[in-house]
Structures are given as structure tokens and as C-alpha cells.
Amino acid sequence: MSDIPLGVLDLVPIPSGATAADALRNSIELARRAEEFGYARYWFAEHHLNPGVAGTSPAVVLALTAAATSTIRLGSGAVQLGHRTALSTVEEFGLVDALHPGRLDLGLGRSGGRPPGAKTPSAATATPVVDGRAPNGLLIPPRFSFARLLGSPRIALQRRLLLLPNAESQEYAEQIDDILALLAGTYRTEDGVEAHVVPGEGADVELWILGSSGGESAEAAGVRGLRFAANYHVSPATVLEAVDGYRSFFQPSDHLDKPYVSVSADVVVAEDEATARELATGYGPWVRSIRTAEGAIPFPTPEEARAHVWTAEDRELVQDRLDTQFVGTPQQVADRLEQLQEATGADELLITTITHGQHDRVRSYELLAEEWARR
């Protein structure tokens, strides 16, 4: 499977007892090591108002990381377009590209914008799911309802702080078109006024659309012939719907002549399964903190995680994520990644790993890279 590239998605997690500065230094070090290990990409997520996550500004972290690495592709997974403009996005990434040309991936997501209205219809899932399994056995758990998150006071506060007073975010598809035009130097208003971004116009950035379902994001990527990234680690129930929807919408473009998909998974790798499961102990309480709309907590130690008193409601909140986290030896995790790739037809895989200890996180990536290169 070494012909299927592996990349990394980093949330810049803050371990309990550490600071945001510690987390940022850890992530930059991990990017350097990932480059040594042979990973193809290193993406940074954007999150806000989470006590345990320091990844608030992907372009800033990318600039710091680009200066500390030399060959690995770097990108955003994803910029939250809902609270920014097309111009600010192109300017930020154009600025980094001016100093580090040809290494940037601009991943675009819908988060942070308009409150959800009518649901965008999703394309039909072509891949059959029987008894919670794809044809090759990949687990596809029941859907998780994000209604609690979307209706939380913290999410409303986040939107209020991110948006200027009385501002209304632009329609997602229109914003993507504006970004494409600004990058290409073809932006015109309806009455013919031109806009040219310096730096930014002509930047050699690779555009990706990130999505969790076969709806608006999959359609936006497909009809424009752009690359698409789906997340099994966040929404495992809808990963097949997302990739099938994207492919059904796809039209060839100047960017791509056929669909191109990346799929993400959460993994923890160690020399033996027992150690890997010990390192992954904090994942359950950490996911719970996100799905209760409290905001991601600092990632707990295994001892801190075991002290959490679980309720039946807690278990239900996180079970799909625990069941679809790939934890074990390099061989076990690589086997499950191969299963994920086969089920989704992914052209690339993206892994994300959170452990309390930085050494354990680095070692997890190293062990997996060695095993993946052997296949």
C-alpha cells in the first residue's frame, strides 16, 4: 500500500498540564519528524474556544512550520470560510506561498458561518451498508446527531465572536468561486471592476474541499473538479455517502481530470496492542468534551481518563468514535487503514493521532510509516 500516500492532520492538541506554546512547539517538531518518516502532507485544523486545542490560525502555524521543514506539503484541514472572506483567505495563503512556493494545500470548510437552515440534499450512497458494515467489513456506525452541538450557547458565542457585528457570511459555493477567481487573476465584479491580490494571485496552492456528507461540500468540490477530503474520524457514519456523493457530482476541470479523494482516520500505534490502548485511553473523555459542546478539554493522561465516571449517556455520545478509532500494533492499524482505503476508494489517507505524551505521538507516526513503507 505504499503507493497510497499517508498524510497527517494535526489539531494542535494541548496535553493536560501543558501550555498552548508547548502544543505549538510539539506540532512543529512533529511536522519535522513526519517529513523524515516520509509522510506526504501535514495539515492543521482550525478550531476556536477550545481549552485543549491551540490550532486557531492555520495560516500562521503553516508559516512557522514551513520555515522548519523543507519538502513535506503543508495545508489547512480546513479553513473555516464561514467567518472570513475570500480575499482574506487568498491573501493569507498567498503570503505564505510567496516565501514557500508550491508547498501549500488550501483546504476549505463550511464551519463557522450561517446557522444551519434547510438541509442540502445528499447524493445517494452507491456503496451498500448491511448490518453496519461496508461490503469489505469496514464498520459504518449509526449516525450521530450534531443538533446538540449546533444549538449550544458556546457555539452561538463562538459565531458571535468570529463574525463582525451584523455581518452575514457569504454563500459557501460563491465564496469558493471567488477564491478560485482571485487565485487565477480573473476576478471581476458584475460591472467589470477587477481585483488583483498581491501576494496571492498566481499562488501555486492546491485547493481541497473538506466535507462530512454527500451534500453541499461534496457537490461544491465535484462540480468544480476539485480535490475532496472526507473524515471517517469525525463522522464515520457518513464517509461512504460523502465520497460517493463527490464522485457522482464530479466534472473534469483544469485542476483534475478525474475524482481525487483523501479520507482521514484517528489512529494510535505502539509496539504492542496493550500499550497502544493505554495511550488511547484519553480519547473517550476528550471526544465527550467536544460532543457535549463544552469544548475540547486538554488531552488527559491515562490516569486522568480512568478517573472519569461514565454514564450511559456519555457512552452513547462517544461510542461510534471509539469503535472507529484504529488502535494497536503497526500491523493491526495498517490493516484497518487498508480496509478503509478499499471501502472508500481513497487516493490518499490522512491520519490524526493524539496521545498525552509527545514522545508517544512521534513514535506512533514512526511505527506506522515504517509498516506502511513495507507494504
Q: What is the mean pLDDT of residues 262-274?
A: 98
In whole angstroms, what is the distance from residue 259 CA to residue 8 CA?
21
Q: Which residue has the cell 502544543?
A: 23
β-partners of residue 263 are: 230, 349
Task: Count other C-beta atoms under 10 Å from residue 167's C-beta.
Answer: 10
In whole angstroms, what is the distance from residue 118 CA to residue 130 CA?
29
Q: What is the mean pLDDT of residues 347-373?
A: 98
Residue 116 grid coordinates: 444551519
Asked if 269 contacts 279 with a C-beta cutoff of 8 angstroms, the reply is no
Instruction: Indicate the pLDDT class of residue 364, thresholds 50, 70 and 90.
Output: very high
For 112-121, 149-158, 283-292, 332-341, which range has the lowest pLDDT when averaged over its residues? 112-121
Distance of CA 361 to the CA centre of its chain: 18
pTM, two decimals, is 0.95
pLDDT attached to residue 17: 97
Asked if 227 contacts 206 with a C-beta cutoff of 8 angstroms, the reply is yes
Percentage of residues in the chain having pLDDT higher than 70: 96
Could you read off the pLDDT of 86-98 as tens digits, one per residue? Answer: 999 999 999 999 9
Residue 277 grid coordinates: 490502548
Could you read off the pLDDT of 109-155 as tens digits, one per residue? Answer: 987 655 544 455 555 567 899 999 999 999 999 998 877 777 788 88
